[in-house]
Amino acid sequence: MNELKLLREWDADAPPLTDAARSRARSRLLQAMQAPTAVHTAPTAPAVGRRPLLRIAVAGVAAAAVTATVVVAQDAGEKEPRTRTVSAATVLRGAAAEALRTEKPVAPRDDQFIYTKEVVERRPVSGGPVKKWVDESWSSVDGSKKGYVSELGYKQWVPKSRPGQSTWPPSKWSELKELPTDPRKLTATLRDMGGKPDYGRPTTADEWPMVQIFLSGLLRDSVLPKGLRSAAFEALATAPGVKVLPGRTEFNGHTAIGVQYVVGPPGTSWKDGGRTLLFDAKTYQYLGLRERATAKQGTEVYDQSQYVVASGVVDRVFQRP
């Protein structure tokens, strides 16, 4: 998941990117997103400080409110599950409302750490035992201290931020707090990649894939400033090409609805098995993600699931909430 390496780190004092540079960046990102997802089983160290982001893309000409009939869990006394037709926008806006309802506002100090505990499971498509990892990470709130991460069981220290180093989307709490919680403004701010946002300019079809990567990157952070997670879901609800996956899905003990994005004409990319956001079928609470991945030069195919089971703010590495 290193397709954002081009954009994630640059000299914070450098001039804003030119239109030509942004165009080249969008092209690189789209090419990376269209490439098959691969996972590595060799004991090779992953990139230090990697911030996993969702690689999701959309078709610029598709409508945002693609609907599907989904099966939801029955209430007490019902013999059969009920069905209802919902749109992806409905699910995402429901997730936004649920995020506002359940969030617990926090105000971490610069010298603290954000703790995340995530479970990753891989189920071979051809059958066989399920592999499971429980990864924990401690990220410095302001980047001034060394962090510690575990990715698929591989553990390592993360160096503190270098002078002038920055990331996009932001990862430092002080910078996250500056992001707008108005969905339209958040979209424009992320789109313009650190430059002065042009709130009056609509986001174009070729810009949406990049914007979705950035929005989804925010959602992967386990702790965010008040209202920002909800705003990211609301912004994703306006993306063209978003769709609901039909059928009933079980995920981490929940009956779930899948939401997925597509790029290009049907069959060109993001077919069945592409990365999918999963939400509780009743409350629309965000549960995690599922995707199909390959390993060993494409000879092994997995259905991979990821979900956060614990998070919080702590005073030191290896401390848990």
Sequence-distant (≥ 6) Cβ neighbours of residue 208 within 8 angstroms: 57, 58, 60, 239, 240, 241
Rounded average pLDDT over 43-66 = 33
- What is the identity of the amino acid at 142? D
**What CA–CA distance (Å, rounded) separates 227 from 223?**
11
Backbone angles phi, psi at 191, to 5 degrees: -60, -40
In a domain, 281, yes or no: yes
In a domain, 144, yes or no: yes
Question: Per the structure block, which two tokens stand in for 111?
Answer: 């010298």
In a domain, 66, yes or no: yes
Sequence-distant (≥ 6) Cβ neighbours of residue 154 within 8 angstroms: 43, 45, 46
Whether 8 shows a pLDDT value over 70: the answer reads no
If one counts the domains in the chain, the total is 1
Q: What is the pLDDT of residue 57?
A: 26
Q: What number of other Cβ atoms are within 10 A of residue 229's Cβ?
A: 24
Q: What is the pLDDT of residue 251?
A: 84
Rounded average pLDDT over 176-194 = 94
Nearest C-alpha neighbor of 250 from the set 269, 228, 270, 278 = 278
DSSP of 198-235:
-TTSPPPTTTHHHHHHHHHHHHH-SS--TTHHHHHHHH
**What CA–CA distance (Å, rounded) separates 25 from 49?**
21
Tens-digit pLDDT profile for residues 149-178: 999 999 999 998 888 777 888 889 999 999
Where do we find the tokens 């949406």? Answer: 208
The answer to whether 96 and 224 have CB atoms below 8 angstroms apart is no
Whether 49 shows a pLDDT value over 70: the answer reads no
In a domain, 320, yes or no: no
In a domain, 321, yes or no: no
The range of the structural domain enclosing residue 244 comes to: 5-314
Among the listed ranges 86-90, 209-213, 267-271, which one has the minimum average pLDDT value?
267-271
For residue 134, the SS3 value is strand
Rounded average pLDDT over 50-68 = 33
Among the listed ranges 2-16, 197-211, 260-274, which one has the minimum average pLDDT value?
2-16
**What CA–CA distance (Å, rounded) separates 112 from 110?**
6
Where do we find the tokens 């954002």? Answer: 4
Q: What is the pLDDT of residue 239?
A: 87
DSSP of 227-294:
THHHHHHHHHHTSTT-EEEEEEEEETTEEEEEEE---SSTTSSS-TTS-EEEEETTT--EEEEEEEEE
Mean pLDDT of the chain: 76
Percent of residues, the chain, with pLDDT higher than 70: 68
Among the listed ranges 20-34, 117-131, 190-204, 290-304, which one has the minimum average pLDDT value?
20-34
In a domain, 319, yes or no: no
Whether 11 shows a pLDDT value over 70: the answer reads no
**What CA–CA distance (Å, rounded) separates 8 from 13?**
14
Sequence-distant (≥ 6) Cβ neighbours of residue 229 within 8 angstroms: 96, 99, 103, 218, 219
Tens-digit pLDDT profile for residues 125-138: 888 899 999 999 99
Tens-digit pLDDT profile for residues 64-121: 334 444 444 444 454 444 545 788 999 999 999 999 999 998 999 999 999 999 999 9
pLDDT: is 127 or 264 the higher one?
Answer: 127
**What CA–CA distance (Å, rounded) separates 294 from 297?**
7
- What is the identity of the amino acid at 51? R
In a domain, 286, yes or no: yes
Backbone angles phi, psi at 109, to 5 degrees: -80, 160
Half-sphere exposure at residue 53, Cβ-oriented, CA atoms within 13 angstroms: 30
Q: What is the pLDDT of residue 198?
A: 94
Nearest C-alpha neighbor of 72 from the set 59, 87, 82 = 82
